[in-house]
């Protein structure tokens, strides 16, 4: 799980071109969106696209996304359980 | 003088619920949804979604006119509306110069462009044909040509409020006295772009939308068009037309909040509704029925309900959402709702809300479930678009004794510009430079330098020569976190806006008193193409939401409002070469009425490789094309001037509130001509100047879109000569495209050039034909733009 968390951190930093942010700056137990990373709801939807292209997970409902993005740890668990 | 009240004398409609007002009303009466399977194109991702697709015989219904599907849908609705208004066989005594077209559009010819991109990416074939009908302005150009309109003709693209925004703008033109009769409405076809775009935002409900229902999860996408014939009451009565309903009030606002999500409390929606009621001098208690935007997304319906509850308190009138009848038809939505509102007022009956079953306790609002008769004198119709672009319209029963026409006019064309408005700031991004000083140097050097731009290598040529904007300081003006979400075009427009606007201007101005109208000819082409290419190459896997939000044309104006917190009217005109002039008209209209104290107006366009490749295939450009030299007559036959990109935004304010304006602007007007006749245009310019009290003898220069095309340049020169004759003095003919290249937003750069000229920063001899020196300097410039489709625009810039 920890390695998946690190992998997702890297994807988020690269996917959103977060300048000056290192994986260590991201707390895996904080919400991913609406916090210090300055990621907003469009980024959340971009992450939905990343999950689909990289892990084959198709999300079509916002409620599912909201739950999965509660924290990076929650996301890692979601990815582990649903990846194809 | 009484206010020229806009009345509706004809309506037309085509959508999934039927073709023609009678057929659609029959579906409404039966509460029968027209949603069904998608067959127009194959969509692996959304094959099982219900959509509002129009019947199959669109081409035949449109009389086989040439154009995109959106253009055809628009013309079908327009034809019906004109016939209903008794105008099928001609316009009788209506002067064609007082006849205009104002349409909304968001999709335009995207469906055809998708076919082009599919052939390119899947089969490596260049089938450029459909790109001829890509532009959103196509429907307005087609309708104007069909009816011979020679008054104002333009297109507005404010996403899902565009149809309502077009009706609002048409009403303004009638009230100002710019036109006696306007064809107004909107048409949008289904497309992969919008289907996958809304899908990428998780805003689609596969089983059909359920407005205001507790289980609602999103929209059903639809297509269609609706048109209204809107006339000045006095001229409608004079020709004996039957008045179907009145347009009693209209209002616009911007949330200034988010690119796609509405502001949760419905702040902007409430403001638009309040402005519409104020405009009609109506109390909330006088509204008998609300035709909600009601898209059935969780956020929209919650926000709209809150706004309605704030406006009406305990006494919210009956509310319906008609979205499940035909889906969310984007730009057409507001126009379709307008036609249905007119029908409700005539029939004294209101539509139900198909799809609604279970009330959402969190909302505390239960819509009308089924069609029912009820007395209706006034209907409030809401339209809200991405970017928080909100429009509310109030329709009034024709029999209702109107108080509108007895009111003092809010504005008329004389008051619109008599004193002129102050140009407080300018911001430009162009191949000529990004400041007036840099631009002046470029003019002194004889024009801008072109650069190479790579195009797809399947053509004999691999690069095009272009006037690129280059680096324009996005890093300096936009923080990285915001920048990465914006398309190049959005960045370009935002930088121009920031440069033109000083926080000093707004020290004593409330945000709702600042409006933004920034146009574009083609929008964020590169992000739009990237989104669609991604769909094609990956079979619609993982569509990218941020590319879709950039593809929304009015993201240009709304992101400026979001960044700078301006909540007045927000609009993105999209009318080819006169997109800027249309934006200028909208901004100056808001200023003249007092609804705005500051207006940011401008236009921007960007270069794109497919557009360049198409031009090369059509023989417009090649690697050795000469640089633009206006009046040199180097280009003939198929050749076109080299393309460019860039944008300009200017901040305008009231002259009396401005300490040190850069210049003044007046005599704004948009119109259309059937042919290029210099005398006609000179008289049009003279008339426009005269009504704003500007003496033709004061004009020093006619600054034009001359671009090296022999025929066009000699036309512009002939206009200047004809104008000189009328003035009894020599008026020089000038040009600016050698500095910025050829693109749809070039006249915005022309405006900045005009400010530089009257400000003595740019020497006139670097702009004029034959390097004419103006011994007395250049104090008054008329900016005149003539599009190949016949639409035209002008304004006067003076020191």
User: Are B206 and A60 in contact (CB < 8 Å)?
Assistant: yes
Cβ–Cβ of B202/A52 closer than 8 Å? no
Q: Are residues B283 and B428 in the same domain?
A: no
CA–CA gap between residue B335 and residue B184 (Å, rounded): 8
DSSP string, B705-773: ---SBHHHHHHHHHHHHHHHHHHTS--EEEE-HHHH-B-TTHHHHHHHHHHHHHTTSS-GGGTBGGG--
Partners of A49 on chain B (C-beta within 8 Å) are 200, 542-545
Residues B63-80 have pLDDT tens digits of 989 999 999 999 999 999
β-sheet bridge partners, residue B289: B379
Boundary-marking domain end, from B369, B404, B439? B404
What's the helix, strand, coil split of chain A in %, to 5?
60, 0, 40
How is residue B131 annotated by DSSP?
G
Kindly state the tokens that stand for B262. Answer: 């509405």
- Cβ of B206 under 8 Å from any chain A Cβ? yes
Encode pLDDT of B581-619 as tens digits. Answer: 999 999 999 999 999 999 999 999 999 998 898 888 888
Considering B79, B293, B378, B743, which one is annotated as catalytic?
Answer: B293
| B485 in the same domain as B342 | no
Q: Which residues of B touch A60 (CB under 8 A)?
A: 199, 202, 204, 206
Q: Do B484 and A52 touch (CB under 8 A)?
A: no
Q: Is A75 on the interface with B (CB under 8 A)?
A: no
Distance from B201 to chain A by nearest Cα, in Å? 6
| B109 found inside a domain | yes
This complex has an ipTM of: 0.94
Tell me the mean pLDDT in the region B660-676.
Answer: 95
Average pLDDT over residues B491-507: 95
Is the pLDDT higher at B391 or at A28? B391
Chain B contact for A38, CB < 8 A?
yes
Tell if the CB–CB gap between B545 and A53 is shorter than 8 Å.
no
B390 with B447, same domain: the answer is no
Active site residue B378: no
CB atoms B545 and A42 under 8 Å:
yes
Cα–Cα dist B270/B299, whole Å? 15
Number of domains in chain A: 1
Pick B261's closest partner by Cβ from A41, A46, A65. Answer: A41
A42 and B541 within 8 Å at the Cβ level: the answer is no
Q: What is the pLDDT of residue B46?
A: 96
CB within 8 Å: B481 and A38:
yes
CB atoms inside a 10 Å sphere around CB B29: 15
Contact B515, B569 (CB under 8 A): yes
Q: Which tens digit of pLDDT belongs to each residue from B612-644?
A: 988 888 889 988 899 999 999 778 778 999 999
Tell me how crowded residue B694 is: count the other CB atoms within 10 A of its CB.
21
Whether residue B544 lies within 8 A of chain A, CB to CB, comes out as yes
Token pair of B2, please? Answer: 């009484």
8 Å CB contact of A45 and B201: yes
CA atoms of A10 and B649, how far apart (whole Å): 39
The pLDDT, as a whole number, for residue B595 is: 94
pLDDT given at position B406: 55
Nearest to B230 by CA among B241, B216, B238, B214: B241
Q: Which residues contact B420 (CB under 8 A, 6 or more apart)?
A: B655, B664, B665, B666, B692, B796, B798
What CA–CA distance (Å, rounded) separates B448 from B432?
Answer: 5
Residue B253 main-chain phi, psi, to 5 deg: -155, 170
As a whole number of angstroms, the distance between CA B52 and CA B328 comes to 8
CB contact B547 to A (< 8 Å): no
Name the packing angle between helices B331-347 and B21-29 (round to 10°): 80
Give the pLDDT of residue B708.
Answer: 94
Q: Can you spell out the DSSP letters for B296-331?
A: --HHHHHHHHHHHHHHHTT-PPPEE--HHHH-B-TH
Residue with tokens 């084959």: A56
- Cβ of B538 under 8 Å from any chain A Cβ? yes
Reply yes or no on whether the pLDDT at B401 is more than 90: no
Higher-confidence residue of B638 and B468: namely B468
Shortest Cα distance, chain B CAs vs residue A29, angstroms = 22
B315: contact with A, CB 8 A cutoff: no
Closest CA to B561 of B295, B275, B257: B257
Distance from chain centroid for Cα B411:
22
Question: What is the domain extent for residue A35?
Answer: 2-82
Which uninterrupted H or E stretch holds B429?
strand B421-430
Asked if pLDDT for residue B678 goes beyond 70, the answer is: yes
The residue among B374, B404, B434 that closes a domain is: B404
Residue A2 burial (CB count, 10 A) = 9
Residue B564 pLDDT exceeds 50? yes
| CB-CB contact of B187 with B61 (8 Å) | no
Which pLDDT does position B722 carry in this prediction? 98
pLDDT in tens, B515-558: 999 999 999 999 999 999 999 999 999 999 999 999 999 999 99
Q: Domain residues for B646?
A: 420-798
Q: Which of A16-25, B394-403, B734-743 has the highest mean pLDDT?
A: B734-743
A13 lies within 8 A of chain B by CB: no
One domain, residues B538 and B576: yes
pLDDT of res. B418? 52
For residue A27, what is the domain's CATH number?
1.10.1200.10
Q: Give the best residue of A12, A36, A42, A57 to mutate against chain B (max B CB count within 10 A).
A: A42
The Cα B799–Cα B754 span in angstroms is: 10
Is residue B437 in a domain? Answer: yes
Residue B658 scores a pLDDT above 80:
no
Contact B541 A45 (CB under 8 A): no
Average pLDDT rounded to a whole number, residues B685-704: 95
Find the residue in A nearest to B261 (Cα).
Answer: A41
Give yes or no for residue B697 having a pLDDT over 70. Answer: yes
| Number of structural domains found in chain B | 2
* DSSP helix/strand/coil, B241: coil
In terms of pLDDT, which residue wins out, B633 or B706? B706
Same domain, B318 and B190: yes
What mean pLDDT do residues B347-358 have?
98
With bands split at pLDDT 50, 70 and 90, how would you rate the model's confidence at B403?
A: low
Please report the pLDDT score of residue B244 as a whole number: 98
**A65 near B CB under 8 A:** yes
Percentage of chain B lying above the pLDDT 90 cut: 87
Whether residue B534 lies inside any domain: the answer is yes
Query: Do B434 and B349 reside in the same domain of the chain?
Result: no
- Is B414's pLDDT higher than 50? no
Half-sphere exposure of residue B457, counting CA atoms within 13 Å on the CB side? 0
CATH code of residue B591: 3.40.47.10
Q: Cα distance from A26 to chain B (closest Cα, Å)?
A: 16
Which residue among B404, B438, B459 closes a domain? B404
Average pLDDT, chain B: 94
Higher confidence at residue B354 or residue A37? Answer: B354
Given a cut of 60, whether residue B372 has pLDDT beyond it is yes
Residue B446 tokens, joined: 């004889």
Question: Within an 8 Å CB–CB cutoff, is residue A41 touching chain B?
Answer: yes
Let me know whether B438 and B396 are in one domain.
Answer: no
Check A48 against B258: CB less than 8 A apart: no
Known catalytic membership, residue B209: no
Could you tell me which residue, B507 or B683, shows the higher pLDDT?
A: B683
Token couple for B597: 């104290």
Cβ contact (<8 Å) for B542 and A52?
yes
**Exposed (0-12), middle (13-18) or buried (19+): which is B63, by Cβ within 10 Å?**
exposed
CB-based contact, B484 to chain A, within 8 Å = yes
Whether residue A19 has pLDDT greater than 90: no
Residue in A19, A53, A62 closest to B542 by CB: A53
Element (H, E) at B7: strand B6-15
Quick one: B126 and B87 in the same domain?
yes
> How many contacts, defined by CB atoms under 8 Å, are there between A and B?
50
Average pLDDT over residues B499-522: 95
The verdict on whether B160 is a catalytic residue reads yes
Checking B35-38 for CB contacts under 8 A at 24+ apart, the result is B35/B208, B35/B220, B35/B222, B35/B324, B35/B326, B35/B327, B38/B190, B38/B195
Shortest CB distance from B202 goes to which of A43, A50, A60?
A: A60
d(CA B196, CA B194): 6
Please tell me the distance from the alpha carbon of residue B34 to that of residue A36, in angstroms, as a whole number.
Answer: 46
pLDDT in tens, B331-346: 999 999 999 999 999 9
Contact B544 A49 (CB under 8 A): yes
Residue of A nearest to B199 (CA): A60
Does residue B413 belong to any structural domain of this protein? no
Same domain, B595 and B736: yes
Q: Which residues in chain A are contacts of B484 at CB distance < 8 A?
A: 16-17
Q: What is the pLDDT, as a whole number, of residue B1?
A: 45
Give the span between the Cα atoms of B489 and B554, in whole angstroms.
12
Q: pLDDT tens-digit profile of A8-17? A: 999 999 888 8
Structure tokens at B174: 């009638």
Two tokens at B738?
Answer: 């050698």
Collect all residues of chain B within an 8 Å Cβ-Cβ radius of residue A50. Answer: 542
> What is the spatial distance between Cα B73 and Cα B327, in angstroms, rounded to a whole number?
15
Q: Is B199 on the interface with A (CB under 8 A)?
A: yes
Pair (B399, B424) in one structural domain: no
Q: What is the average pLDDT score of chain A? A: 90
What's the token pair of residue B622? 């090649």
A50 vs B: CB within 8 A? yes
The tens digit of pLDDT for each residue in B290-329 reads: 999 999 999 999 999 999 999 999 999 999 999 999 999 9
CB spacing of A48 vs B543 below 8 angstroms: no
pLDDT at B417: 47
3-state secondary structure of B703: strand
Query: Is B200 in CB contact (< 8 Å) with chain A?
Result: yes
Which tokens sit at B451? 């650069």
Q: Is residue B409, in this structure, part of any structural domain at all?
A: no
Tell me the shortest Cα–Cα distance from B544 to chain A, in angstroms: 6
Whether residues B604 and B711 share a domain: the answer is yes
The verdict on B256 and B164 lying in the same domain is yes
**Least confident segment among B34-48, B271-285, B616-630:** B616-630
- When pLDDT is cut at 50, 70 and 90, the band that residue B160 belongs to is very high
- Residue A34 pLDDT exceeds 80: no
Determine the average pLDDT of the residues in B214-224: 97
């Amino acid at each position: 799980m920890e390695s998946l968390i690190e992998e997702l951190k890297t994807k988020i930093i690269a996917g959103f071109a977060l300048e000056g942010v290192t994986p260590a700056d991201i707390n895996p137990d904080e919400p991913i969106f609406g916090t210090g990373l300055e990621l907003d709801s469009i980024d959340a939807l971009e992450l939905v696209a990343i999950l689909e292209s990289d892990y084959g997970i198709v999300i079509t409902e916002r409620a599912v996304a909201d739950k999965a993005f509660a924290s990076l740890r929650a996301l890692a668990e979601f990815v582990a359980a649903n990846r194809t | 003088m009484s206010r020229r009240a806009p009345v509706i004398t004809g309506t037309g409609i085509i959508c999934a619920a039927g073709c023609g007002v009678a057929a659609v009303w029959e579906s409404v009466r039966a509460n029968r949804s027209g949603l069904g399977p998608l067959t127009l194109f194959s969509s692996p991702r959304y094959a099982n979604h219900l959509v509002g697709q129009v019947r199959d015989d669109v081409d035949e219904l449109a009389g086989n006119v040439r154009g995109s599907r959106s253009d055809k849908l628009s013309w079908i609705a327009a034809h019906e509306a004109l016939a209903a208004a008794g105008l099928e066989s001609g316009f009788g005594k209506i002067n064609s110069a007082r006849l205009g077209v104002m349409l909304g559009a968001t999709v335009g010819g995207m469906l055809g462009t998708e076919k082009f991109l599919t052939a390119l990416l899947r089969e490596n074939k260049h089938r450029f044909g459909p790109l001829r009908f890509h532009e959103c302005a196509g429907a307005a150009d087609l309708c104007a040509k069909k009816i011979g309109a020679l008054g104002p003709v333009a297109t507005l693209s404010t996403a899902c409020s565009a149809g309502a925004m077009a009706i609002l703008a048409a009403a303004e033109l009638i009230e100002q006295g710019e036109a006696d009769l306007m064809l107004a409405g909107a048409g949008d076809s289904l497309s992969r772009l919008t289907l996958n775009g809304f899908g990428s935002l998780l805003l689609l409900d596969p089983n059909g939308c359920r407005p205001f229902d507790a289980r609602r999860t999103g929209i059903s996408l639809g297509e269609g068009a609706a048109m209204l014939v809107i006339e000045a009451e006095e001229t409608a009565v004079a020709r004996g037309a039957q008045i179907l309903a009145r347009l009693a009030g209209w209002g616009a606002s911007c949330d200034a909040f988010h690119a796609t999500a509405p502001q949760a409390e419905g702040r902007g929606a409430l403001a638009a509704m309040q402005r519409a009621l104020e405009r009609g001098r109506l109390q909330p208690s006088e509204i008998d029925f609300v035709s909600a935007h009601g898209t059935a997304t969780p956020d929209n319906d919650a926000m709209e309900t809150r706004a309605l509850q704030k406006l009406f308190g305990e006494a919210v009138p009956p509310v319906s959402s008609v979205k499940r009848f035909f889906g969310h038809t984007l730009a057409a939505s507001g126009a379709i709702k307008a036609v249905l509102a007119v029908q409700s007022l005539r029939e004294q009956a209101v539509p139900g809300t198909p799809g609604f079953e279970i009330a959402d306790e969190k909302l505390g609002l239960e819509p009308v479930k089924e069609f029912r008769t009820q007395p209706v004198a006034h209907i409030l119709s809401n339209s809200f678009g991405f970017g928080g672009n909100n429009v509310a319209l109030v329709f009034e029963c024709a029999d209702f004794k109107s108080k509108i026409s007895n009111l003092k006019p809010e504005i008329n064309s004389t008051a619109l510009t008599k004193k002129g408005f102050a140009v407080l700031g300018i911001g430009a991004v162009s191949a000529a430079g990004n400041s007036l000083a840099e631009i002046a140097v470029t003019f002194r050097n004889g024009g801008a330098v072109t650069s190479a731009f790579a195009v797809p290598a399947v053509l004999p040529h691999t690069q095009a020569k272009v006037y690129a904007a280059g680096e324009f300081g996005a890093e300096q003006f936009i923080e990285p976190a915001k920048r990465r979400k914006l398309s190049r075009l959005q960045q370009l427009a935002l930088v121009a806006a920031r440069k033109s606007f000083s926080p000093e201007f707004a020290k004593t101005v409330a945000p709702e008193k600042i409006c933004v109208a920034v146009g574009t000819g083609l929008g964020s082409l590169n992000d739009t193409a990237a989104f669609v290419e991604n769909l094609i190459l990956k079979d619609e896997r993982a569509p990218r939401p941020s590319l879709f939000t950039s593809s929304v044309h009015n993201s240009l104006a709304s992101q400026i409002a979001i960044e700078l917190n301006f909540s007045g009217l927000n609009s993105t005109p999209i009318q080819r070469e006169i997109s800027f002039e249309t934006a200028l008209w909208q901004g100056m209209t808001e200023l003249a009425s007092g609804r705005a104290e500051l207006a940011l107006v401008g236009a921007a366009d960007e270069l794109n490789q497919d557009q360049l490749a198409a031009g090369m295939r059509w023989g417009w450009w090649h690697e050795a094309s000469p640089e633009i030299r206006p009046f040199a007559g180097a280009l003939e036959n198929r050749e076109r001037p080299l393309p460019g990109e860039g944008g300009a935004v200017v901040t305008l304010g009231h002259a009396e509130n401005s300490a040190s304006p850069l210049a003044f602007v007046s005599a704004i007007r948009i119109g259309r001509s059937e042919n290029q006749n210099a005398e006609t245009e000179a008289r049009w310019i003279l008339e426009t100047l005269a009504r704003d009290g500007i003496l033709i003898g004061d004009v020093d220069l006619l600054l034009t879109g001359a671009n090296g095309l022999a025929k066009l340049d000699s036309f512009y020169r002939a206009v200047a000569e004809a104008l000189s004759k009328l003035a009894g003095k020599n008026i020089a003919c000038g040009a600016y495209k050698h500095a910025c290249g050829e693109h749809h937003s070039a006249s915005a750069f022309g405006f900045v050039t005009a400010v530089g000229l009257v400000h003595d920063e740019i020497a006139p001899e670097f702009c004029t034909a034959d390097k004419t020196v103006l011994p007395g300097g250049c104090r008054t410039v008329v900016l005149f733009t003539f599009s190949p489709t016949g639409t035209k625009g002008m304004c006067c810039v003076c020191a």
